[in-house]
Amino acid sequence: MSELITVLTANQLIVAFAVVGIIVWFSYWLSNTFTGGRIHGSAVAIVIGLILAWVGGTRTGGSKGIADIELFAGIGVMGGAMLRDFAIVATAFGVDWHEIKRAGVAGSVSIIAGVIVSFIVGAAVAYFFGYRDPVAITTIGAGAVTYIVGPVTGAALGASSDIVALSVAAGLAKSILVMTSTPAVAGLIGLNNPQSAMVFGGLMGTTSGVTAGLAATDPKLVPYGAMTATFYTGVGCLLVPSVLFLVIRAMLL
Amino acid sequence: MIIYGVALLSACLVAGLFIGEILGKLIGVQANVGGVGIAMLLLILVHNLPRFRSLTTGASANGITFWSAMYIPIVVAMAARQNVAGALDGGVLALLAGVGAVVVSFALIPLISRIGHAPAVIESEGEKADDDE
């Protein structure tokens, strides 16, 4: 038995391929057996992934989900930013350049609108919960933009660590909700063509949420959404600690 | 050769991320600005240049399409390493802020999608959900 553990922990990435393969297979089986394929197998697999992440996080107290359990550390590599970005870029192979150009204006507008709207909602919730300090309100609003903009803004403005933690949690909640709810609302909001996928990526902005949400909806839309989403965090880091912070401070004076 | 496609893909990603870092530095933010998006544009560009045809057809193309097909399993692994427990620990404020941002953003999608052109609806692929995706 200890020999098996040795082999598994010495080959973590390879183990991850097998584990993810089993999860995907099991998910498609669930999808076909219980929903007749109506709920996409990949959507089921993503939810199972999130449940495993929750189990891993509560068992170890770490921040990397199931990857904090040593046996599954390879999941952390496989699902980490490096391979994720590599695979996302690969999905652009065969993308129609004209679609990108067609949706260019709407896509750009959506990035700016997305940052501002998410910030306003996050800041309003913070205000509603009794926060009156512009630094705290801005940092929590930044978290609702993405969980990267939150800590970047907090560091720039000198927010306390509990406020930064709150902002990260807000960004994580957003990302996870986008992953799970996108397939359900796609029909309602017309998310079925490259143009709306680019707008979706720009408005939501969380790369993990957008790419997983589109994967579970229609994998052909992934490159379009990912394209705009990858600009969002940068724009957020630009706007929130500067212009939007000044606006909040002026409003509270 | 498959490795040519894989190498092209990695060259695009590295170049894109590098440009994204420089952009971030130029506008003074501590983040990579659009690196992955720029890498995607580079790949699309190279794909359309006759000069690089040998890198984007035949066996070389398989080196790219393999990683494209690995995308969903990688996303499943990504989901499994999210800090879900951390999101739930943030309490009601964090959940409300995140949920509110998502709901309002969803509502804006149909409005902003109309900018420019009436959206051309692709034939819905949802019906024939391929198992190999």
Break chain A into its structural domains and give their ranges.
2-79, 97-252
In a domain, B90, yes or no: yes
In a domain, B133, yes or no: no
Asked whether residue B5 falls in the same domain as residue B64, the answer is yes
- Mutation target vs A (from B23, B70, B102; most A CBs, 10 A cutoff): B102
pLDDT tens per residue across span A5-54: 999 999 999 999 999 999 999 999 998 898 877 777 887 888 899 899 99
The residue that leads in pLDDT, B125 or A42, is A42
What is the model's pLDDT at position B117? 57
Q: Which residues of A touch B41 (CB under 8 A)?
A: 92, 100, 227
Asked whether residue B6 falls in the same domain as residue B61, the answer is yes
User: Which two three-digit tokens encode residue A146?
Assistant: 């993405």
d(CA A243, CA A226): 26
Quote the DSSP letter at residue A240: I
Tell if the CB–CB gap between A223 and B39 is shorter than 8 Å. Answer: no
Asked whether residue B63 falls in the same domain as residue B108, the answer is no
Q: What is the pTM of this model?
A: 0.80
Asked whether residue B65 falls in the same domain as residue B90, the answer is no
Q: Which residues of A touch B82 (CB under 8 A)?
A: 49-50, 53, 65, 172, 175-176, 208
CA neighbor of A230 nearest in space, from B17, B15, B74: B17
Asked whether residue B68 falls in the same domain as residue B106, the answer is no
List C-alpha distances in Å: A173 to A160, A177, B90. 20, 6, 9
Asked whether residue B54 falls in the same domain as residue B99, the answer is no
Provide the 3-class DSSP secondary structure of residue A116. Answer: helix
Range A198-237 burial, b when 16+ CB lie within 10 A, else e: bbbbbbbbbbbbbbbbbbbbbbbbbbbbbbbbbbbbbbbb
Provide the 3-class DSSP secondary structure of residue A166. Answer: helix
Identity of the amino acid at B88: L
Domain end position, chosen among B20, B49, B72: B72
pLDDT category, B129, cuts 50, 70, 90? very low
Asked whether residue B49 falls in the same domain as residue B98, the answer is no
- Residues A152/A237, Cβ–Cβ less than 8 Å: yes
d(CA A201, CA A209): 9
Asked whether residue B27 falls in the same domain as residue B49, the answer is yes
- Residues A144/A209, Cβ–Cβ less than 8 Å: no
CA neighbor of A228 nearest in space, from A243, A206, A244, A252: A206
pLDDT category, B116, cuts 50, 70, 90? low
What torsion do the CA atoms of A137, A138, A140, A144 make, to the nearest 10 degrees? Answer: 130
Which of A76, A169, A191 is the closest to B86 by Cβ?
Answer: A169
Tell if the CB–CB gap between A87 and B74 is shorter than 8 Å. Answer: yes
Tell if the CB–CB gap between B67 and A102 is shorter than 8 Å. Answer: no
Number of domains in chain B: 2
Terminal-to-terminal C-alpha distance of chain B? 24
Tell if the CB–CB gap between B81 and A75 is shorter than 8 Å. Answer: yes
Q: Which residues of B touch A20 (CB under 8 A)?
A: 73, 76-77, 80
- Site of tokens 């589109």: A214
What is the model's pLDDT at position B124? 45
CA neighbor of A98 nearest in space, from B44, B115, B86, B36: B44
The chain-wide mean pLDDT, for chain B, equals 81
Q: Please report the sign of the dihedral spanned by the C-alpha atoms of residue A152, residue A153, residue A157, residue A160.
A: negative
CA neighbor of B85 nearest in space, from A252, A158, A50, A227: A50
Asked whether residue B64 falls in the same domain as residue B87, the answer is no
Q: Over chain A (253 residues), what is each successive 10-residue block's mean pLDDT?
A: 89 95 94 81 86 91 88 92 89 80 84 93 92 92 89 84 85 88 88 89 89 88 88 85 89 84
CA neighbor of B109 nearest in space, from A103, A131, A148: A103
Lowest-confidence region among A203-207, B46-50, B120-124: B120-124
Q: Which run of H or E residues covers position B115? A: none
d(CA A100, CA A122): 30
Tell if the CB–CB gap between A53 and B72 is shorter than 8 Å. Answer: no
Asked whether residue B63 falls in the same domain as residue B98, the answer is no
What is the model's pLDDT at position A55? 93
Which of A28, A56, A181 is the closest to B131 by Cβ?
Answer: A28
What is the model's pLDDT at position B85? 83
Residue of chain B whose Cα is closest to the Cα of A42: B72
Identify the domain containing residue B54 by its residue range.
1-72
Q: Which residues of B touch A76 (CB under 8 A)?
A: 81
For chain B, give the number of residues: 133
Q: Which residues of B touch A91 (CB under 8 A)?
A: 40, 68, 71
Tell if the CB–CB gap between B64 and A90 is shorter than 8 Å. Answer: yes
Chain A / chain B CB contacts < 8 angstroms: 365
d(CA A186, CA A204): 13
In a domain, B99, yes or no: yes
pLDDT category, B100, cuts 50, 70, 90? very high
- Residues B79/A79, Cβ–Cβ less than 8 Å: yes
d(CA A141, CA A187): 29
Which of A67, A170, A191 is the closest to B81 by Cβ?
Answer: A67
Which of B36, B94, B119 is the closest to A190 by Cβ?
Answer: B119
Phi, psi dihedrals of residue B30, rounded to the nearest 5° = -90, 60
Tell if the CB–CB gap between B9 and A54 is shorter than 8 Å. Answer: no
Asked whether residue B111 falls in the same domain as residue B49, the answer is no
- Residues A148/A118, Cβ–Cβ less than 8 Å: no
In a domain, B129, yes or no: no
The residue that leads in pLDDT, B88 or B26, is B26
Q: Which residues of B touch A64 (CB under 8 A)?
A: 81, 83
Q: Which residues of A touch B76 (CB under 8 A)?
A: 20, 23-24, 42, 45-46, 48-49, 79
B27 phi-psi bin (left φ>0, alpha ψ -120 to 50, beta other): alpha
